Copies of this chain bind each other. A is one copy, B any other.
Amino acid sequence: MPDRPADPNEADPNEGAFYFEDFHVGRRFATRGVTLSEAEIVDFALKYDPQPFHIDKVAAATSPYGGLIASGFHTMVAAFRMVVQQNLFTACSMGSPGLDEVRWMKPVHPGDTLHAELEVESAEPSRSRPDRGRVRMTYTVVNQHGDAVMSFTAMQILQTRAGAEAEG
């Protein structure tokens, strides 16, 4: 395990696409960051989670949060976008059966900058289909102060290198 999470973009993209075999237990990855603006927080929430403390600065000021905060769903998908953009799953993603233990620990405020840190918890080859395997990874979303604002565990079905070669 490296001292700090490996940045997949440090690898030469022509050299190394990631496949199931690359996700060994304990391996860690980190994404680049994304800053959530007030406009972005309100836009997302107005469409998908229109609760007052996500869309209305005046109402939010008297809410338990004391001000506007991002929808927890927004925090989750903004972080997930950074993971996809990092090309970790570009070659091998075959979808996800689900997530476990989604937890929102701290509020995300306008102007906060988030990145995701991933760690492989388990990796099991499929018994019935040798071209793929199932990986469980913990995703932790971290703000600019180093605080974990949310976390979840994702199951992902990933293609094996041999499966990709047979297909391709």
Contacts and interface: CB of A to CB of B under 8 A. Distances in A.
A141 interface: no
Contact of A48 (B65, B81, B97, B101): B81
A72 B96 contact: yes
Nearest to A107: B95
Contact of A77 (B49, B65, B94, B99): B49
B101 A100 contact: yes
A90 B62 CA distance: 15
Q: State the majority secondary structure of interface residues on A.
A: mixed
Contacts of A98: 101-104
B104 A97 contact: yes
Contacts of A126: none
A65 B95 contact: yes
A116 to B, nearest CB: 13
A53 B95 contact: yes
A98 B76 CA distance: 11
Nearest to A69: B95
A155 to B, nearest CB: 9
A50 B96 contact: no
A150 to B, nearest CB: 8
Nearest to A53: B95
